[in-house]
């Protein structure tokens, strides 16, 4: 357990510079247990702390672990160039806390995206050494055939890759959709693998990371949620 002054608490949670947080507190815009706290020097226990700012309730969190159902035409970048960034889908104070996407999805790829301000977590989740499977549903231009599935399972050669890249599993869902599971996370990997196998990806959605599924999170496109400890524990290989 630890105590911090209220202005430091607000600053740590991304509500702005300390001077601004002090003004916010003095204006009576911050309440704890329904009571306005107007002295920024008030020492508060952070463990389990809930507070409101402008009437909206927040919980003190040392780090943020989030899941987002990424819509199409959003970039996984803090400095997007051609489309809005995924951070624009989150509260502003999350951006102030340096929340970043864990890995990247192309601007036209949808689905499950993890985000955090915990550098160690981001590094661990991004490391190829952990062999965390990621499940994608790809829509193809041409029909999905048994030959295509077999090629993806056997492995295809991509430019600048020394070895064949193969799917962990690959299942035909219908005439123009397949579910493909990968561990490597190479640049544009699903699209490039389909192209190398003689087809073309027209839409791509990441539906699962480790054992955590987008369906279980029940998020509409553009919606986000905090990850619980149980959900965090699912972000591992089977």
**Distance separating alpha carbons of residues 110 and 50, to the nearest angstrom:** 33
Q: CA–CA separation, 36 vs 34, rounded Å? A: 7
Chain centre to alpha carbon of residue 108: 15
Coil vs helix vs strand at 231: helix
H/E element, 18:
helix 18-26
Spell out a b/e string for 190-220, using b for 16 or more CB atoms within 10 Å of the CB, else e.
bbbbbebbebebeebbbebbbebebeebebe
Contact 107, 75 (CB under 8 A): yes
What Rg, from alpha-carbon coordinates, does the chain have? 22
Tally of CA atoms within 13 A in the half-sphere of 60 that contains its CB: 21
Q: Which residue has the tokens 């704890």?
A: 32
Between CA 81 and CA 64 the distance in angstroms is 25
Could you give the residue numbers annotated as active site?
106
Strand duo 65-70 + 43-45: pairing: unpaired
């Amino acid at each position: 357990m630890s105590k911090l002054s209220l202005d430091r608490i607000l600053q740590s949670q991304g509500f702005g510079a300390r001077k601004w947080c002090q003004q916010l507190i003095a204006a009576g815009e911050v309440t704890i247990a329904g009571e306005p706290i107007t002295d920024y020097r008030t020492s508060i226990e952070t463990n389990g702390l809930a507070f409101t700012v402008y009437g909206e309730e927040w919980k003190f969190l040392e780090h943020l672990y989030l899941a987002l159902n990424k819509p199409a035409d959003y970039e996984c970048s803090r400095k997007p160039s051609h489309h809005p960034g995924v951070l624009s889908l989150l509260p502003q104070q999350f951006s102030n806390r340096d929340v970043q996407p864990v890995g990247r999805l192309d601007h036209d790829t949808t689905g499950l995206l993890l985000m955090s301000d915990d550098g160690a977590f981001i590094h661990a989740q991004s490391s190829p050494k952990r062999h965390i499977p990621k499940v994608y549903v790809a829509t193809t231009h041409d029909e999905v055939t048994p030959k295509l599935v077999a090629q993806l399972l056997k492995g295809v050669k991509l430019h600048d890759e020394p070895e064949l890249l193969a799917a962990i599993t690959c299942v035909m869902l219908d005439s123009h959709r397949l579910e493909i599971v990968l561990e490597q996370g190479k640049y544009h990997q699903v699209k490039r693998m389909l192209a190398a196998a003689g087809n073309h990806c027209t839409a791509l959605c990441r539906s699962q990371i480790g054992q955590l599924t987008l369906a279980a999170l029940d998020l509409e496109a553009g919606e986000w949620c905090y990850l619980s400890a149980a959900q965090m524990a699912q972000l591992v290989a089977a």
